[in-house]
């Protein structure tokens, strides 16, 4: 029995996307112990993943914090890891590689760099979609990828019957109209107008709800929808997963909850401007589709409503 390490720090959408790759790694190493190195926001979440033996916390302190770095590297070295699957593929994890396994090849450290196709530069390879890159990385590492291209994030769900009872949630549509302040180009500005159009069409047949993150609760007051909280606090990731999975439809900006919805099998729609493409981030699924436009502020309410009306 060997010890295997997977590295996946975040973000939320990336965690959902990596679920299939983690499952394939686990099934390939079914007789081994599978550990995952992640950051604080996802530590408790990954504890629920049935494909993992245990989770290791990386505080991601500065590389110049030599005491912390020494402590983390020492802890990992003591585990006698036989293989690492770097699903983060960042400059930080490449730095860890140079400390833990200097000069190692893909037999020890599987990453987008060590499995890079001979006929591609890193810049060319990175033009592929997220899931295609994971798929290539694992297949080059001799893993049969049954799940990588079809991630299933449903392992993250939990029981929210009390919350659904409190808010009388049966048939409901979830909106995610928020985004990080520094990513304003991802924000579609017409959610209230869309809400009015949905209500005009369906009356009270469906409740329209929002589930803001901790920093979005105040902003939710500007949206004419029912705000779902747990004792005044934002839902945790597992609660949010269940809210999304049980919903009738999801409408979202290109944010973490949109990627969760895509890989929870939820029916829904995400709205893209020119910041990236739906293909690049692997968000379109059988039930979850995207509208791509050059400028989100020019995407009409009528066009979005038409797509919602087609799918509900």
For the chain, which domains are there?
3-151 (3.40.50.2000), 161-311 (3.40.50.2000)
pTM above 0.85, yes or no: yes
Phi, psi for residue 17 in degrees, rounded to 5: -65, -35
Q: In sequence order, which residues have a C-beta less than 8 Å from that of residue 227 and are 6 or more positions away?
A: 209, 210, 211, 212, 217, 220, 221
Instruction: Taking residues 50-60, report their average pLDDT.
Output: 98
Token pair listed for 57: 């916390």
CA 37 – CA 76 distance, rounded (Å): 10
DSSP letter (8 states) at residue 185: G
- Alpha helix ranges (H) inside the chain: 12-17, 19-28, 40-46, 66-78, 91-100, 122-125, 130-140, 161-166, 191-202, 237-245, 256-263, 301-311
Token pair listed for 234: 């934002």
pLDDT band, residue 118 (cuts 50/70/90): confident
Instruction: Taking residues 60-66, report their average pLDDT.
Output: 94
What CA–CA distances, in Å, run from 127 to 10, 14, 152, 276, 283?
20, 16, 24, 11, 15
Q: What is the per-residue pLDDT across 150-190, written as a single tens digit (0 to 9) for each?
A: 999 999 999 999 999 999 999 999 999 998 877 778 999 99
Token pair listed for 74: 């020492």
pLDDT band, residue 253 (cuts 50/70/90): very high
Match 């209230």 to its residue by tokens: 192
């Amino acid at each position: 029995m060997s010890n295997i390490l997977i590295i996946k720090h975040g973000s939320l959408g990336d965690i959902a996307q990596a679920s299939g790759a983690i499952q394939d790694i686990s099934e390939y190493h079914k007789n081994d112990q599978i550990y995952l190195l992640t950051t604080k926001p996802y530590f408790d979440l990954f504890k629920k993943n049935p494909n993992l033996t245990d989770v290791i916390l990386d505080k991601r302190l500065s590389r110049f914090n030599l005491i912390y770095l020494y402590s983390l590297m020492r802890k990992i070295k003591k585990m006698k890891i036989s293989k690492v699957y770097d699903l983060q593929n960042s400059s930080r994890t490449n730095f860890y590689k140079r400390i833990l396994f200097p000069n190692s090849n893909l037999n020890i450290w599987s990453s987008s760099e060590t499995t890079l196709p001979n006929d591609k530069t890193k810049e060319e390879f990175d033009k592929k979609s997220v899931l295609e890159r994971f798929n290539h990385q694992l297949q080059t590492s001799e893993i049969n990828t049954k799940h990588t291209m079809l991630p299933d994030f449903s392992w993250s769900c939990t029981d929210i019957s009390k919350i659904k009872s409190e808010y009388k949630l049966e048939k409901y549509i979830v909106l995610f109209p928020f985004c990080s302040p520094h990513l304003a180009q991802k924000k579609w500005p017409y959610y209230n107008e869309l809400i009015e159009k949905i209500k005009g069409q369906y009356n009270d047949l469906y409740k329209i709800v929002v589930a803001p993150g901790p920093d979005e609760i105040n902003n939710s007051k500007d949206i004419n929808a029912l705000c779902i909280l747990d004792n005044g606090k934002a839902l945790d990731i597992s609660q949010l997963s269940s809210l999304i999975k049980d919903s009738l439809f999801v409408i979202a900006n290109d944010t973490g909850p949109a990627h969760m919805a895509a890989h929870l099998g939820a029916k829904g729609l995400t709205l893209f401007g020119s910041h990236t493409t739906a293909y690049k981030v692997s968000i379109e699924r059988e039930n979850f589709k995207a509208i791509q436009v050059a400028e989100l502020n020019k995407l009409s309410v009528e066009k979005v409503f038409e797509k919602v009306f087609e799918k509900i």
